[in-house]
A and B are shown apart, each in its own frame.
Chain A
Amino acid sequence: MMAEIGLAALWLAAALAGLQLAAGSLGLTTRGAALGEAVRPVAVVQGLLALLAFACLIYVFSVTDLSVKLVALNSHSMKPLVYKIAGAWGNHEGSMLLWVTVMGMAGGFVALVERRLPERTMLATLAGQAFVSLGFYAFLLFASNPFERLSPVPVEGNGLNPLLQDLGLAFHPPTLYLGYVGLSIAFSFAIGALITREVGPAFARAMRPWVLGAWIFLTVGIAAGSYWAYYELGWGGWWFWDPVENASLMPWLAATALLHSCSVLASRNALRAWTVMLGVVAFSMSMIGTFLVRSGILTSVHAFAVDPQRGTFILALLAIYIGGALILFGLRASSVTEGERFALVSREGALVFNNVMLSAILGIVLFGTLYPLVAETFGAKVSVGPPYFNPMGALFAVPMLVVLAVGPLLRWRRDRFARVSKNLVIPAMLVAAAAIGLLVIGSVALLPFLGLAVALGLAWASLLPLKGRNLRRTPLPIWGMVTAHFGIAVALFGMSSESAFSIEKLVAVKIGEVTQVGPWGVKLDTVEPVAGPNWTALEARLLVRYGADGKVTRMLPQSRSFWAPPQQTSESALLTRWNGQLYAVLGGEAPAAGNKDEAKSDAGSDQGRWQLRLWWKPFVPLIWLGGLLIALGGALALAGHVLADLRRINLRSKIAYRRERQGR
């Protein structure tokens, strides 16, 4: 029953999106102006219906209604409740439903609260939002219906990939989706502004909170995803330049550029056409990324392959939306004047540099992600990895970070470098000191070397905008900027330190044997079987000690076997200290030891040797701490802008009230 309600809600929501598109477009004409009134309420109801459909899907997953095909394929009655719920979006159909739900809710929210822009622009924006939603509704209803029934009803479901049975990951995709789809609002705003030719500071101010909000979710999502890959995959790496990761990085880069150009447009009325184009590009990157991942065109493990039909459908949507928006941009951009001018050395100049560098990095990541496809077209098979991405990315990232240290100190419009240069003496000295220190240590590769040196200088320089200010009166957006820039320095330090100073050790040890990794002594105490709700595991107890006289701490890495579906995963154990993390993975019993079939039964005996993989990674948690600081900075800036808006609305209504009373 719930499945049918969900499907009905989805159809209704799609119909309302059609109505919203029609009413919004007709509302722009003089004859249909009355229809414009309907657009906002329709947008709100459309969002609520999409939410209802999503709630129904969560319900059928939480009760494991196996008559629904999607549940039977992706869930299992023996699973903990939280993973049953997470299973609702851990698959293609469910995640597409989540996509339209977020899109509908965001559209409804804009319709409800955004009153600053001219009504015509708002109508065009909401019609644009409906147009985009409509395509995704069609995709869900015709090509990937999440509520399809199954007959006969199977006795048990297929289960959820055990790698995905992890609390962090359960809430990771929704976070990313909020980011991806939040950018759809920026996209719609850009379309609305292009149609009505109203590109100006008001447009930027209306768009900025949405970009910021989406960007915060993207930042958190990327950081969380990276941490998940780090501890769950058990490979000790935190970024693999995998297409799935790149798919989330590309919208982030575009949104970061958009965020900065938005603030130029909002405060200085410059970079108009560029900001509109970034608004289109940011959401396009979300769609392209999702398409690349979902169509299976890049990932080619056949257990996961999706039929090309679906890929073609999404590709058609991409062609309509991205192609259409870019044609509109091409037609209208020439009539959008460039706006205010500025000198090269100015805040705007620095932000333009930042935008160009971010776009270059975006291009590099996109090209690297697509290159295997290009090569395949010419009959070669390649995979592109860190040897391409790292140096090419750094080529543009390092100059950008240097400018980042200076840019926030510059004035708008025109400035002299000499005015700010004395502030930069200390950061420059920090960079020099770090460089000398690293040269003395020696044997640090070029990229981590640059990273460490720049990170130190940047950390100091990022705090400089607070200098000479009354800290209690400093506006929240400034605090946000400082926090986010400081976060970049922190994350950069973590990344560089991880790649410069990590120590890896792969050993086969007997019970009771002690091995040394970096400053840690690691003793394998026992290996014992343990059982969880839907898995069994071998768990090693490691007694570890930092230095010669540190406290002894336990670590419990596991090698888990799930039975539905059967799969093995390794649960790494992490021990965090202020200066880094010790990372332990339990492998199998070393192959030399007798019949492998009996390995499980005599796990406790002292005959066997166990494979352990150990890493000491100095300062690695700073990567994610930095990521969180960046997101926190975004949140501060968002809060600042929203509070200022509320204050303005409040003030305006007070003035209106007073006028009314005086008029009496």
Chain B
Amino acid sequence: MSDTPPHRAPRWAIWLPLVLFLGFFALVMIGLYRPADRNVASALVGKEMPRFDLPPALPGRPGLDSKVLANGKPHLVNVFASWCVPCRVEAPQLGELAKAGVPIEGISVRDTTENLQGFLEENGDPFQRIGADDDGKVQLALGSSGVPETYVVDGKGKIVYQHIGEIRPEHLGLLLGKLQEAQQ
């Protein structure tokens, strides 16, 4: 390399940027159309529910102790808050699940009693127990990255499925299936 650079770049080098860009394009196309994988899955799926004992969020309703979850029946654990808009969106679906006899336990994240009461009056109340997670510690321990999130827990207290984001009508079948699996 005494007299650099060569007088003219080789032909292939001129097309190299385009080839690299096409590679990028293909990669991103694949990434963009795999929306299912864009969620932050909790590392806890397939593991025991972490131990916690949350105080009641509402007077007259029990709080949530993780021991309750290991009572032999599968449960849904719903992480929600009155200030979260998607939680309103999923409320009818939770109502239906509750009607179908699924025990639903609530973890109310950073909320106040009045707001929570208002939220339940407005959107329906599918919860058997509601624990108050005022500093978000249990939410963090669950590996949940936001609200709402819903966990399917089997009768031994093991998390078998994590649903990220609001439950839409089309997700009901999926969740019921997971609950069924958890039963066995």
Contacts and interface: CB of A to CB of B under 8 A. Distances in A.
Contacts of A158: 85
A323 B14 contact: no
B66 to A, nearest CB: 17
B164 A302 contact: yes
A302 B4 contact: no
A344 B30 CA distance: 43
Nearest to A291: B28
B99 interface: no
A58 interface: no
A376 B8 contact: no
B15 A300 contact: no
Interface residues of A, number: 49
Given A305-B38, A338-B7, A373 B165 contact: no
A308 B134 contact: no
B31 A343 contact: no
A329 B25 contact: no
Contacts of A352: 4-5
Nearest to B145: A301
A565 interface: yes
A329 B14 contact: yes
A342 B3 CA distance: 7
Contacts of A277: 17
B134 A596 contact: yes
Interface in B2-49: 2-9, 11, 14-15, 17-18, 21-22, 24-25, 27-35, 37-41
The A contact surface, by secondary structure, is helix
Contacts of A453: none
Contacts of B7: 337-338, 341
B146 A308 contact: no
Interface string A170-189: 00000000000000000000
A377 B17 contact: no
Contacts of B165: 302
B110 interface: yes
Nearest to A292: B28
Contacts of B2: 343-344
Contacts of B1: 344
Nearest to B112: A566
Residue among B11, B32, B35, B81 with most chain A CB within 10 A? B32
A295 interface: yes
Nearest to B19: A326
Nearest to A298: B31
A303 B144 CA distance: 12
A284 interface: yes
A284 B14 contact: no
Given A300-B38, A343-B3, A377 B27 contact: yes
Contact of B38 (A288, A297, A327): A297
A258 to B, nearest CB: 14
A292 B135 CA distance: 32
Contacts of B31: 297, 373, 376-377
B119 interface: no
Contact of A566 (B4, B38, B110): B110
B9 A288 contact: no
Interface in B142-183: 145-146, 164-165
Interface stretch (A231-239, A314-322, A423-431, A609-617): A314-322
Contacts of A311: 32
A343 B21 CA distance: 32
A597 to B, nearest CB: 6
A374 interface: yes
Interface string B103-125: 00000001000000000000000
B135 A596 contact: yes
Contacts of B5: 338, 352
A377 B34 CA distance: 9
A343 B15 CA distance: 26
Contacts of A327: 18
A534 interface: no
A588 interface: yes
A597 B55 contact: yes
Nearest to B1: A344
A323 B18 contact: yes
Contact of A315 (B18, B29, B145, B146): B29
B80 to A, nearest CB: 13
A302 B17 contact: no
Contacts of A303: 145-146
Interface string A334-378: 100110011110000100100000000000000000100110110
Given A296-B38, A297-B28, A305-B38, A565 B83 contact: yes
A297 B32 contact: yes
Contacts of A556: none
Interface string A272-298: 010001001100100010010001110
A513 to B, nearest CB: 24
A315 B85 contact: no
A376 B3 contact: no
A349 B5 CA distance: 9
A288 B28 CA distance: 10
Contact of A330 (B6, B14, B24, B110): B14
B34 A376 contact: yes
Given A315-B29, A318-B25, A376-B34, A344 B4 contact: yes
8 contacts: A284-B21, A302-B40, A319-B25, A330-B15, A333-B9, A338-B5, A338-B8, A370-B24
For the complex of A and B, list the 5 residue pairs with the smallest distance between their C-beta atoms, beginning with the closest: A326-B18, A303-B146, A333-B14, A300-B38, A373-B31
Given A297-B38, A319-B25, 15 more contacts: A280-B17, A284-B21, A301-B145, A301-B146, A302-B39, A308-B33, A311-B32, A329-B18, A338-B6, A344-B2, A349-B4, A352-B5, A370-B24, A373-B27, A376-B37
